Amino acid sequence: MPLAPRRTFADRFAAWAMRMSGTRPPEPVPVTLGQRRIYVLPTRAGLLYSLSLVVLLIGAINYNLSLGYGLVFLLAGLGVVAILHTFRNLAGLSLTVGAPTPVFAGATARFPLFLHNPDPRERRRLRAFLPGQPATATSATMAADLPPQGSVRVLLPLPAPRRGWLAMPRVTLETVWPLGLVRAWGYAAPELACLVYPRPADAAPPAPSFGEVGGGSLAGDAGDEDFAGLRRHQPSDPPHHVAWKTAARMGAQAPLQTKQFAGTAAQALWLDWNHLPGMETEARLSTLARWVLDAEAAGLAWGLRLPGLELAQAHGPAHTHACLKALALHGEKT
């Protein structure tokens, strides 16, 4: 049995902080950062700043310098004001989520978050990041300035190594504005997951032919009677269906296009789990994913058969998503 990953101090503190604030992940949106959910600590620059004030104070005491006392108290007051402004830069923000775009296993999922500023003042240098991914002010997808009573969208990247649902972990929102002497941060754990498709096989066996699996028909699909439009040319298209006049008019640099006709039945095929005997589960799913993408790219209609599930023959982006989703969630508990 594999050992559970060891929790770091940051993970334990985050769990304690959310428990003390009365939240239990996943939490409903919108998530608002109230006073009990914001924590403030000095940064490294803030610690050096404090040490410098101590040294200045010792020098002022040693030499009995009135101006030294004034300088120390002035700088100390500046530090206290910086704490207040850093805290207010984060307090009251609310967070909602969007729908992440599905990705293939091995790619990077991107979770869309929307930060909302209810106040008439600007919020600056806000940063959002996930565990194990330190925030960087140079990252365009994590750093953001919030306009007065406005919103901003940020995308949080997370590797997606396996198929299925990839849940977004807790989000850390932080700021060091205006002086960088203190860091204010808070946690949020909205319910959000990204669908991860199986990774298409790089070297998949050829898809079953129409003769092996039987054809199908779809009303209104490509036939040979009435002209229905143009689509991008595929290598498998008959040469007499290529729109040669359009190609001559558009020039040699334009991609070839194929005429589409309507009025008769189109060829369709079945992508069947049982067509891949002897393969392991993940290899079968990767091969079927490759077949799905190839069939869609070729403009064909296809159906998908999995153990306990059959998707009727069709084509198009919605059908492709439904088939890839079925492959992604095969064997998963619902």
The string of pLDDT tens digits covering residues 173-228 is 999 999 999 999 999 999 999 999 999 998 878 776 543 444 444 434 444 444 44
**Can you tell me which residue has the tokens 């009303």?**
219
Q: Is the Cβ–Cβ distance between 315 and 294 less than 8 Å? A: no
pLDDT top residue among 312 and 9: 312
Q: Is 86 helix (H, G, I), strand (E, B) or coil?
A: helix
> DSSP labels for 237-300?
S-GGGB-HHHHHHH-TTSPPEEEEEESSPPPEEEEEGGGSTT--HHHHHHHHHHHHHHHHHTT-
Q: How far is 15 from 174, CA to CA, in rounded Å?
A: 17
pLDDT top residue among 258 and 70: 70
Q: How confident is the model at residue 260 (pLDDT cuts 50, 70, 90)?
A: low
Q: Is the Cβ–Cβ distance between 10 and 133 less than 8 Å? A: no
CA 202 to chain centre: 24
Q: Is the Cβ–Cβ distance between 177 and 86 less than 8 Å? A: yes
List pLDDT tens digits, range 88-98. 999 999 999 99
Q: Could you give the dihedral angle defined by the CA atoms of residues 34, 37, 41 and 44, in that order, rounded to the nearest 10 degrees? A: -100
List pLDDT tens digits, range 31-88. 999 988 999 999 999 999 999 999 999 999 999 889 999 999 999 999 999 999 999 9
**Can you tell me which residue has the tokens 């060891």?**
6
Q: Is 278 exposed, middle or buried (0-12, 13-18, 19+ CB in 10 A)?
A: exposed
**Cα angle 115, 116, 122; round to 5:** 105
Of 77, 78, 71, 74, nearest in space to 56 by CA: 71
**Which of 3.40.50.280, 3.40.1160.10, 2.60.120.260, 2.60.40.10 is the CATH number of 9-196?**
2.60.40.10
Q: What local confidence, expressed as pLDDT, does residue 165 receive?
A: 96
Mean pLDDT of 101-125: 94
Structure tokens at 262: 């309507």
Q: Is the Cβ–Cβ distance between 218 and 266 less than 8 Å? A: yes
- 301-306: strand order across its sheet: 268-272, 301-306, 309-314
Q: How far is 72 from 80, CA to CA, in rounded Å?
A: 12
Q: Is the Cβ–Cβ distance between 237 and 258 less than 8 Å? A: yes
Considering the chain, tell me which residue range(s) the CATH 2.60.40.10 domain(s) occupy. 9-196
